[in-house]
Amino acid sequence: MYEFEMPSRRALLTAIGKAGGAAALYQAMTALGHAAPTQFSGPPKLSGAKSGAKVIILGSGLAGMLAAYEMQKAGYQVQILEFQNRPGGRNYTVRGGDVIKEVSGAVQEVKFAPGNYLNPGPWRIPFHHQALLHYCQELGVQLEPFTQYNLNGYLHTDKAYGGKPQRLAEVSVDFKGHIAELLAKAVNKNALDDTLSKEDKEKLLEAMRGWGLLDKDMAYTSGLRASSQRGYDRPPGGGVNGAPTPSTIAGLQDVLDPRVWSAVTSTLSRTMQPTMFQPVGGIDAIGKAFARKLEGKIRLNTKVTKIAQDDKGVTIAWTDAVNGMKGETKADFCVCTIPLPMLSQIEVQVAPAKKAAIDALPYHSSCKVGLEMKRRFWEQDEQIYGGHSFTTQPIGEIAYPSYGFFKPGPAVLLGAYAGGAHAYRFAAMTPAERIEAALAQGSVFHKQYRAEYSNGVAVSWSQLPWIQACASSWTDELRAPHYQNLVSVDGRVVLAGEHCSYIGAWMEAALLSSLDAITRLHQRALAA
Amino acid sequence: MYEFEMPSRRALLTAIGKAGGAAALYQAMTALGHAAPTQFSGPPKLSGAKSGAKVIILGSGLAGMLAAYEMQKAGYQVQILEFQNRPGGRNYTVRGGDVIKEVSGAVQEVKFAPGNYLNPGPWRIPFHHQALLHYCQELGVQLEPFTQYNLNGYLHTDKAYGGKPQRLAEVSVDFKGHIAELLAKAVNKNALDDTLSKEDKEKLLEAMRGWGLLDKDMAYTSGLRASSQRGYDRPPGGGVNGAPTPSTIAGLQDVLDPRVWSAVTSTLSRTMQPTMFQPVGGIDAIGKAFARKLEGKIRLNTKVTKIAQDDKGVTIAWTDAVNGMKGETKADFCVCTIPLPMLSQIEVQVAPAKKAAIDALPYHSSCKVGLEMKRRFWEQDEQIYGGHSFTTQPIGEIAYPSYGFFKPGPAVLLGAYAGGAHAYRFAAMTPAERIEAALAQGSVFHKQYRAEYSNGVAVSWSQLPWIQACASSWTDELRAPHYQNLVSVDGRVVLAGEHCSYIGAWMEAALLSSLDAITRLHQRALAA
């Protein structure tokens, strides 16, 4: 879920290790020579289901609801048991009037103005998440562009630029300018003559000059040429005083800060590449659209206490969270989408290897803070329309809303998106302390912060009683012994959810996992 | 207006020359240390206008209508004379039923389905064009994001990749991978030891490894690491077969093609940086919003034949294009926004230096072809939502619509945006030939082109009788003797329009030029 992580040498080596390990998986490119965008190949074909066969689905997140929706279409009788008092799971949006209760006992009531919202979990859809985009169309979920990439956002790092935030355009353009100058210098010293032909050298120098905006001496210097990308002190205008004034470039020392190249490359990450989308009005439009197709099929406030199975069927024991009533539901098959931090606490009759996989997979946490500001000062004063400002501080970033551009009145920005160890530090604070931290740290970008602040909400995933975590954290070392055991059909039970995928955290992961799980469960049912 | 031009050595040297020449303009950075986004500092303050003073404005493009709008607010009596049968000038949208007549005699009737359109001229608004964004708010023009940057579009060059289109993500990521590998190699050979300290070298190597996605041997190689940005042959998915398959990188030879670095850097151009916007429903929403504020003040179909002035006032001679009636309109002052290709053919009583400037400035042309396709195959089959595909062919690019994402039914894409010499070659063809050229060349990207084509329209600016050109083409050599003479107040006459700016072509240029012109004309009026 993070588009921006501080790279460490260890992380890099791990990534390289993964790449090496995957060599075994390498296959010839497709005939077209283009990378495929998605593993989604259309809705599942589940023909020949036995009439009246019953499937119980545990959890009404996207994986669970998609399983119910498609198996119902295929002729199965479906029933969902849901722990919470709403369907949707992590497909979750908070609005004014909503109440958030934490494991700690803290209770927040959201005070956002009508129309404003925070998506504490998933909030954006990559163009290549074609399963999700497909179901948004099928279910009538209206989408609008999500502005992921905005070079007018800021970068703040405690180690460079004297700690002063820079526009992302400035750091991006300065980084490549200095890289180009250095490479051109090396080429002109004939340092790469063993690699490059004379013609290659000429082409490469021309590339460095053009891409890096180098001057006639092949140097990256302050002037109108660099300003044409990094921005001007005074941009070109009209009339008598229309001439532009160039801006001043930063030095090599500043752009060598790892946060700089990390920022430059972050939007190239496949999951962050534009065009991205979001549902109009909040991410929960997706969960609500699925739930409308499953009316009467979702039992809310139902805490599963045991998953039993034998060769005749499955039996799910549960407790009603409202009235304490205990019950049992029998079915022919079960799709279990309960997140593993919860599932590992429940008695499940599956093979030891699957149980070991359920217990082995760690989850990470995250914390999002939504700050309602009295006005869109980031647009009105600083010309930032959507996108992010990144910082080395614990909040990680600020994200500006991709809806309601130019509107007067209050708006909600994402004031913190803390991950890693910071997520747990935020979770240990009271909600008010988290908001205060977000305000203090965000002020490094926006001097208007304190004066314009109206109200806020801080969602720490490890504090949410129904999941106590954010999302699964696979590593190659864990996948080798556990992944196939986790996803296999075990008797009459199959697991689904983002934890049963190579994607992780994203809504697409829940859907692709679910499609695969129900396809295999259907085959199992036909064989029964 | 072009976001993508083939770089030539000459163009680069010219650009470098400009940068050098601008050294004289260099000023200290602002106190904040950030580049300023705009020269716009709010609506003009034109207080103290003499009651009843009359201003005649020639041309109802954005410059002319803004002049009328603000001078009317200030208390002037305003009247606009417009050559065409509609206000708006180049702020122009064509829709089904519209008729386009050319100098050549060719007539096109647009056949687009309801709701579809082509903006033949301006079509997108940079975030830093704050004058335009301001007036869009003031006049109630609804804006939506314009998707300029989409790495899932294609790059086609006749010189690289065997002529086969590549996704922009692939070429962008491969380019930086190879650059990073080369620079790392040079650093490890100690070729830059005179420039870099030991610590710099370590930081730089870490940056190249991270930014360039290099492997443990500091090489850019095919694998999951490169695929995490350039895309996979089979992306990560869910369930049993969720493991990804990496894609294969291109070699150094391919990425050294100048079109590659040009594509990589094109979206960093200041005017092309996200977030960009467009008016909902067509760019002419802006012109129409201005026109609504000037009801009864715009005389259409009025061809200006002479602009005369003395110390008492100005006299504009004109001919009614519909009934041939000749007339004269007198006023105290005149704002002339007639494009120079037309103005240079009219008798104008101004100082010889201004007349020389009017005659000296060349204009360039361009041609846009709008193709209505039966369905959004670029979205449905190829996951391209907005943005561009670039080619070395004369069409220059395809641009995909930034509105109506996911909708079934016909949609209009920009099938050609020809500039430079190609624009004139397109202008020399019949409209049907231009459309055929667009279909033939665009097929390099999309095999669906011929089967899905429904109808098209081809607008060659040099063929439009009311302007016979696209926009002004200043060079430093022309600015030195002519620019200030062009924009100066001459007696009772001042010129405005994109040609009176350092921006050129963009709507912002028309507005900033107009604001500057009327501010100076107002001062002149007060002094009269």
CA B211 from centroid of its chain's CA atoms = 31
pLDDT-based confidence at B24, cuts 50/70/90?
Answer: very low
Asked if B337 is an interface residue toward chain A (Cβ–Cβ < 8 A), one would say no
- CA A333 – CA A53 distance, rounded (Å): 8
Tell me, what's the pLDDT at B25? 26
Predicted local distance difference test score (pLDDT) of residue A2:
36
A167: contact with B, CB 8 A cutoff: yes
Output the CA–CA distances (angstroms, integers) from residue B329 to B46, B313, B333, B334, in the order listed.
24, 11, 11, 11
Contacts of A119 (CB under 8 A, 6+ apart): A92, A93, A278, A282, A283, A284, A368
CA dihedral B78, B84, B88, B94 (to 10 degrees): 160
Would the CB atoms of A247 and B137 count as touching at under 8 Å? no
What mean pLDDT do residues A157-172 have? 95
Q: Which residues contact B171 (CB under 8 A, 6 or more apart)?
A: B155, B250, B254, B255, B260, B263, B264
Token match 């395809």: residue? Answer: B398
Higher pLDDT, B14 or B143: B143
What residues of A are in contact with residue B33 (Cβ under 8 Å)?
Answer: 164
**Which of residues 266 through 285 in chain B touch A, CB cutoff 8 A?**
268-270, 273-275, 277
Average pLDDT over residues A220-247: 96
Which fold would CATH assign to domain B99-152+274-279+364-463? Answer: Polyamine Oxidase; Chain A, domain 2 (3.90.660)
Q: How far is A98 from chain B (nearest CA, A)?
A: 29
Cross-sheet strand order for the sheet of A77-81: A298-299, A77-81, A54-58, A333-336, A493-495
Is there a contact between A262 and B210 if contact means CB atoms under 8 Å apart?
yes
Nearest Cα residue in chain B from A379: B127
In angstroms, the separation between the Cα of residue B107 and the nearest Cα of chain A is 35
Whether B389 contacts chain A with CB within 8 A:
no
- Token pair of B292 as six digits: 């609504």
Residue B37: what pLDDT? 72
Contact A240 B484 (CB under 8 A): yes
Task: Detail the DSSP E strand segments found in A360-500.
Answer: 363-364, 367-373, 387-391, 397-400, 411-418, 453-460, 471-472, 493-495
- B237 → closest Cβ in A35, A204, A502: A502
Percent of chain B clearing pLDDT 70 (strictly above): 93
Does the pLDDT at position B50 exceed 90?
A: no
Encoded tokens for B101: 């007549």
Question: What is the rounded average pLDDT of the residues A250-276?
Answer: 92
The answer to whether B88 and B287 have CB atoms below 8 angstroms apart is yes
With cut-offs at 50, 70 and 90, classify the pLDDT of residue B18. very low
First CA to last CA distance, chain B: 39
pLDDT of B265 > 50? The answer is: yes
Task: Give the pLDDT confidence score for residue A265 in this predicted structure.
Answer: 87
By the CB < 8 Å criterion, does A385 face chain B?
Answer: yes
- Residue B495, pLDDT score: 98
Residues of B in contact with A277 (CB under 8 A): 385, 405
DSSP-derived letter for residue A272 is G
Please tell me the distance from the alpha carbon of residue B57 to that of residue B82, in angstroms, as a whole number.
Answer: 9
At the topology level of CATH, where does B169-263 sit? Answer: de novo design (two linked rop proteins) (1.20.1440)
Average pLDDT, chain B: 92
What pLDDT does B36 receive? 66
CATH class as words, domain A46-87+294-362+473-527: alpha beta
Specify burial of residue A47 (Cβ count, 10 A radius: 0-12, 13-18, 19+): exposed
Report pLDDT digits (tens) over A312-329.
999 999 999 999 999 999
Would you say residue A504 has pLDDT above 60?
A: yes
pLDDT above 80: residue B282: yes
- Contact in structure between B399 and B417 (CB atoms under 8 Å): yes
ipTM score for this prediction: 0.92
**Helix, strand and coil percent figures for chain A, each rounded to 5:** 35, 20, 45
pLDDT for residue B476: 95
* A217 contacts A203 by C-beta, under 8 angstroms: no
Across A152-172, average pLDDT: 95
Cross-chain CB nearest to B240 (options A27, A182, A487): A487
Taking residue B450's Cβ as centre, other Cβ atoms within 10 Å add up to 11
CB A449 within 8 A of CB A154: no
B160: amino acid identity, one letter: A
Question: What CA–CA distances, in Å, run from B494 to B63, B68, B307, B509?
Answer: 12, 13, 11, 16
With CA atoms as reference, the chain B residue closest to A12 would be: B210
Tokens of A388: 């992010």
Q: Touching check for B98 and chain A: CB below 8 Å?
A: no
Any A CB within 8 A of B127 CB: yes
Tens of pLDDT, residues A41-65? 899 999 998 888 999 999 999 999 9
- The pLDDT value recorded for residue A35 is 53
Regarding the domain delimited by A167-266, which CATH topology (the fold level of the hierarchy) does it fall under? de novo design (two linked rop proteins) (1.20.1440)
Smallest Cα distance from B189 to chain A, Å: 7
Task: Quick: pLDDT tens for B385-438.
Answer: 999 999 999 999 999 999 999 999 999 999 999 999 999 999 999 999 999 999
Rg, Å, chain A Cα set: 26
Which A residues in the span 285-304 are in contact with B, Cβ-Cβ below 8 Å? Answer: none
Q: Is the peptide bond before B302 cis (omega within 30 degrees of 0)?
A: no
Task: Compute the nearest-CA separation of B11 from chain A (Å).
Answer: 10
Could A237 and B405 be called an inter-chain contact, meaning their C-beta atoms sit closer than 8 Å?
Answer: no
For A439-486, the pLDDT digits (tens) are 999 999 999 999 999 999 999 999 999 999 999 999 999 999 999 999
Question: What residue segments make up the domains of chain A, in order of their start?
Answer: 46-87+294-362+473-527, 94-149+274-282+366-463, 167-266
Rg of chain B taking only CA atoms, in angstroms? 26
CB count within 10 Å of CB B304 equals 23
- In chain B, what is the greatest distance between 2 CA atoms, to the nearest angstrom? 87
Structure confidence at residue A4 as a pLDDT band (50, 70, 90): very low
In sign, the C-alpha dihedral spanning B109, B112, B115, B119 is negative
CB A498 within 8 A of CB A513: yes
Nearest CB to B35 within list A9, A40, A232: A232
Is B18 an interface residue toward A (CB < 8 Å)? yes
Asked if B258 is an interface residue toward chain A (Cβ–Cβ < 8 A), one would say: yes
Bridge partners of A400, per DSSP, are: A387
Q: Which of B143, B239, B510 sits opposite A487 (nearest CB)?
A: B239
Cβ–Cβ of B268/A22 closer than 8 Å? Answer: no
Convert the pLDDT of each residue in A359-393 to its tens digit: 999 999 999 999 999 999 999 999 999 999 999 99
Confidence check: pLDDT of B341 > 70: yes
Q: Is the pLDDT of residue A334 over 70?
A: yes
Side-chain-side CA neighbours of B38 within 13 Å: the count stands at 22
Contact B484 A133 (CB under 8 A): no
Span A137-144, average pLDDT? 98
Mean pLDDT of B239-245: 96
pLDDT at residue A351, as a whole number: 97
Give the gap in angstroms from C-alpha B151 to the nearest C-alpha of chain A. 7
Q: B494 to chain A: which residues are within 8 Å by CB?
A: none
Question: Does residue A1 carry a pLDDT above 60?
Answer: no
Cis peptide before B275 (omega within 30 of 0): yes
A380 interface with B at CB cutoff 8 Å: no
By C-alpha distance, the chain A residue nearest B131 is: A237
Using a CB–CB cutoff of 8 Å, tell me whether B163 touches chain A: no
Task: Specify whether domain B41-88+286-361+473-527 bears CATH 3.50.50.60.
Answer: yes
Inform me whether the C-beta atom of residue A172 falls under 8 Å from chain B C-beta atoms. yes
B238 and A172 within 8 Å at the Cβ level: the answer is no
Q: Is A404's Cβ below 8 Å from some Cβ in B? A: no
How many Å lie between the alpha carbon of B105 and the closest alpha carbon of chain A? Answer: 35
Distance CA A222, CA B390 (A): 30
- Evaluate whether B182 touches B256 at the Cβ level (below 8 Å): no
Model confidence over B198-216: pLDDT tens digits? 999 999 999 999 999 999 9
Which of A13-27, A226-240, A289-303 has the weakest average pLDDT? A13-27
Could you tell me if A487 lies within 8 Å of chain B, comparing CB atoms?
A: yes
Mean local confidence (pLDDT), A504-524: 97
Cβ–Cβ below 8 Å for B225 and A262: no
Q: Looking at the complex, does the CB of residue B133 fall below 8 Å from at least one CB of chain A? A: yes
B223 at interface of A, judged by CB pairs closer than 8 A: yes
**Residue A29 binned pLDDT confidence (cut-offs 50, 70, 90):** very low
Q: Does A31 touch chain B (CB under 8 A)?
A: no
Determine the average pLDDT of the residues in A261-277.
91
How many other β-carbons are positioned within 10 Å of the β-carbon of residue A113? 15
Task: Please give, rounded to a whole number of angstroms, the shortest distance from the CA of A52 to a CA of chain B.
Answer: 26
Class of domain A94-149+274-282+366-463: alpha beta
Distance from CA of A86 to the nearest CA of B (A): 25
Q: What pLDDT, on the 0 to 100 scale, is given for residue A23?
A: 28
Residue B35, pLDDT score: 53
CB-based contact, A7 to chain B, within 8 Å: yes
Which of B35, B231, B269 lies closest to A270 in CB terms?
B231
pLDDT tens track for A482-499: 999 999 999 999 999 999
User: pLDDT, tens digit, for every residue of A242-261?
Assistant: 999 999 999 999 999 999 99
